[in-house]
Structure 1
Amino acid sequence: MSNQSYAHETVVWAKQRLDDVDAIISEAEKNAEKLREDARKDADAALVRLQASRAKLRKYYDALRAEADTVKRGASETQDALEAEWVEVESAFQSFLSAASDQAETVRSVVVARAQAQRQSWEVSLKNLRDQAVDTVEKARGELDAAIKRLTDETEKFQVRIGEAKDAGDESWKAVKNELTDAKVIHDRTIQKIKEAFSKVL
């Protein structure tokens, strides 16, 4: 995966986390008023921590976006420099052809050599792309199918756990929270595998 696509994926991942914490805070703030006084103090303290974490996440997210823009800008600047230098190559090549214009055989041999080099380069690139595409698509298809199946299975389990969470008492609530945490970890890992499979195809 290129630095640019990795930076993009990281920005997307960070945005998802920000959206998660925003939803948590919004819902927690709505429901905090319904809590008993002693529970309310703990909930308010937790909300303060969540808000502090959201501020840090926002800072990291903004830094990631700036870094991704820098990577993109750096690649763009390099591309511009390459294109500018290629203009110089073409200009020098045309100057050479002009200088040798009275030597038809020389011009012909230089133009033919260039055309053959380009053709050979294109054929190698095309073969590599074809080979890579076949391998990558087959491998990614298998990984994607497996990841989607795992995600579907975990989503079904997650839906059941959500139902259990609504009915859970104090004793079982902790166990349900742990299961929800485990499901979230598996979900995140599966989504990452799907992203990796797509990045291999692209």
Structure 2
Amino acid sequence: MVTSKNFGPREETTAWTRHETAIRVKTTQGLLPQLRWRRRTLPLVIMAWLVPAIGFYGHAKLNMPAAMLTSENYTDRPIYSFWINGLWGGNLSAMGGGGIMCCSNFEGSTEKITWVLDMTRKQQLQGAVEERHELELAIPKRAKGERYLHVRFDPGNKVRLGWSPDLFSPFESRQPATAKTSSQATSTSSHRITNKEQHSEHKE
């Protein structure tokens, strides 16, 4: 004979609660390995992002940005073209300045300068011919903030290199504006005193 057992409301609630508890225990046991794995891999993921970022920041701090190239010609002959380690610098008229070329890091200790001397019509009639010259020069030490490498061509096929933070030639002295203004003011004051003294002498 088969007998059936009827559960009361309280017994049914207790059975359902036990069932839910068993499910939660199983779910928690299944999530624990995943949580442990995530905790182990999280530092690795952070390091994978952090190391390249630190390397890029350090490279940017330790290495100078690319510099621009400018030039000036103090010879009586035009320069058809010139190059510094293969970077074309443009052309220059006689006793004239060149443009701005971009860009190179100029990281070597020496630079190879190649230039081609051109000629005016008058110089050609006098027998001048096109000339190609090459020099290897030690590049000056570059300071922070210096963005322009100046190339200066002097008579006698001499070349100079110099760094500058702007287009002002590093081969010329920079006279402070305050000193110039002070000098002008002193000169004007002296001129006024002299005029006053001359006027007094004339009156006497």
Larger radius of gyration: 2
Greater strand share, 1 or 2? 2
Q: TM-score, normalised by structure 1?
A: 0.28
Greater helix share, 1 or 2? 1
Q: TM-score, normalised by structure 2?
A: 0.28
